[in-house]
Amino acid sequence: MELTSKQRAYLRSLSNTLEPAFFLGKASLTPEVTDALTEYFGKNELLKVSVLKNCGDDPRELAQIIGERTHSTVVYTIGKKMVFYKPNKDKPKIVLPPAKARKEV
C-alpha cells in the first residue's frame, strides 16, 4: 500500500502516543517474532517497534523486512523506532485522509 505524505503524517501523529508493542533484541527478527507481529495486526492497525542496543541489525533494513513479511506499510523509521500500518479489511478503525487524484497533463 502506498501512502501519500498527508496520510503518512496523519499516521505519524497517531503513533506519537503509542508505546512500542515489540522490542527486537539480540535474536533480532525470528520466525516467532514475525508470527507475533502478524498476529498483532489482527487486532490493531498501527504498530510501533523498538530496536534495542544489543541488536546488531540496521533498523531501516529490519523495517523493510518486517513490512514485507507482515504485508504492512512502513510509516516511518527514526533512529531505533519504527511504525507500521496495516488496515483491517473487515472493520477498519483508522480512517486515512483521502488521497488527491493526480491531474493528467
Q: What is the pLDDT of residues 36-92, one digit of tens each?
A: 999 999 899 999 999 999 988 899 999 999 999 999 999 999 999 999 999 988 888
- Tell me the whole-structure pTM to 2 decimals: 0.88
Residue type, 88: N
Range of the domain at 77: 5-85
In a domain, 49, yes or no: yes
Nearest-angstrom CA–CA distance, 45 and 23? 18
Nearest-angstrom CA–CA distance, 82 and 34? 15
Coil vs helix vs strand at 47: strand
Confidence of residue 105 (pLDDT cuts 50, 70, 90): low
pLDDT tens for 6-44 read 999 999 999 999 999 999 999 888 999 999 999 999 899
In a domain, 100, yes or no: no
Q: What is the CATH number of the domain that holds 81?
A: 3.30.110.60
In a domain, 10, yes or no: yes
In a domain, 97, yes or no: no
Q: How many domains does the chain have?
A: 1
In a domain, 65, yes or no: yes
In a domain, 39, yes or no: yes
Q: Is 70 exceeded by the pLDDT of residue 101?
A: no
Q: What is the pLDDT of residue 103?
A: 60
In a domain, 59, yes or no: yes
